[in-house]
Amino acid sequence: MDGVTLPRPPSARAAETLLVAFLATVTMLFAGFTSAYLIRRTGSDWARLELSPLVYVNTLVLLGASVTLELARTRGSALWPRAAALLGCLFLIGQVLVWRTLSADGQLVWHRPQGAFFFLLSLVHGLHLAGGLIALVWLLTRHARLHLVVIYWHFLALAWIYVLALLRFQ
């Protein structure tokens, strides 16, 4: 009974399916938050969120990471993924700084719904990005499935732009 054959490592196509299904579930998560946001926004205590300019710098950093990874995919140097990982870390640090500025000027406090939504959405996004960072580090050591990690990062860049747009249009 022992020593039987086992499966080949999952094929590249399987990994793609897994990623697509995962992105679908993450999309639904953001959709859930979106519907909550749109309904909550009609509340009596809603006020406009004044985003600090740092957010846009962060967004550029994240887009930079996306571009870098695209270069990694097409040019294939080991340097590009490292640069992307660095930019990803910078983005996360930047987001923490944004939280600090927002809470310093009294916008990010729990009883203000717009601040709470900003925190919640950026936190959920940040956690998924941290997952992306882990995948990148893993990639740096194993050199496999680069295109999947790239897709994931592009997705997160898009998700962030979506979140930002959602919060901006009020």
Partner 1 sequence: MVERAGTGVLTAERAGPTARVEEHHAPRSFLGRYVFSTDHKVIGLQYLLTAMLMALVGGALAVMIRYQLAWPEKTVVTPETYLALVTMHGTIMVFFVVSLALVSGFGNFLIPLHIGARDMAYPFLNMLSFWTVVPGCLLMLAAFFVEGGAAAAGWTAYPPLSALKEAVPGSGLGQTLWLLAMALFIASFTMGGLNYITTILNCRAKGMTLMRMPLTVWMFFVSAVLGVLAFPPLTAAALMLLGDRHLGTSFFLPGGLVFGEEVLAHEGGTPLLFQHLFWFLGHPEVYVIVLPAIGIAFDVIATHARRPPFGYRISVYATLLIAFLSMIVWGHHMYVSGMNPLVGEYFSIATVSITAPFSVLGINLIGSLWRGQIRFTTPMYFALGIISVIGTGGLGGLYLGTSTTDVYFHDSYFVVGHFHLMIGVVTLMGTFAGCYQWFPKMFGRLMNERLGKLHFWLTFVPMMAVFVLMHYQGLSGMLRRYYDHSLFEFQTAGRALNKPITYFALLAVGGQLVFLVNFFWSARRGVRASENPWEGASMEWNTASPAPHGNFGPEDPVARRGPYEYAPQDSHQEYLPQWTA
What would the x/- binding string for partner 1 be over residues 22 to 41, using CB under 8 A?
x-xxx-xx-xxx-xx--xx-
CB 139 within 8 A of CB 133: no
How far apart are the C-alpha atoms of 63 and 156, rounded to whole Å? 10
The answer to whether 21 contacts partner 1 (rule: CB under 8 A) is: yes
Q: What is the CA radius of gyration of the chain?
A: 19
Binding residues with partner 1: total (CB under 8 A) = 39
Give residue 160's identity as a one-letter amino acid code: W
Give me the residue label for tokens 């695209």. 70
Choice between 26 and 150, CB closer to partner 1: 26
The CB-of-84 to partner 1 minimum distance in angstroms stands at 24
The CB-of-159 to partner 1 minimum distance in angstroms stands at 13
The answer to whether 113 contacts partner 1 (rule: CB under 8 A) is: yes
The CB-of-103 to partner 1 minimum distance in angstroms stands at 13
The CB-of-110 to partner 1 minimum distance in angstroms stands at 4
The answer to whether 18 contacts partner 1 (rule: CB under 8 A) is: yes
- The beta strands (E) that lie in 47-110 are given as none
Q: Nearest CA to 145 among 51, 69, 34?
A: 69
The answer to whether 1 contacts partner 1 (rule: CB under 8 A) is: yes
Give me the residue label for tokens 């990471």. 65
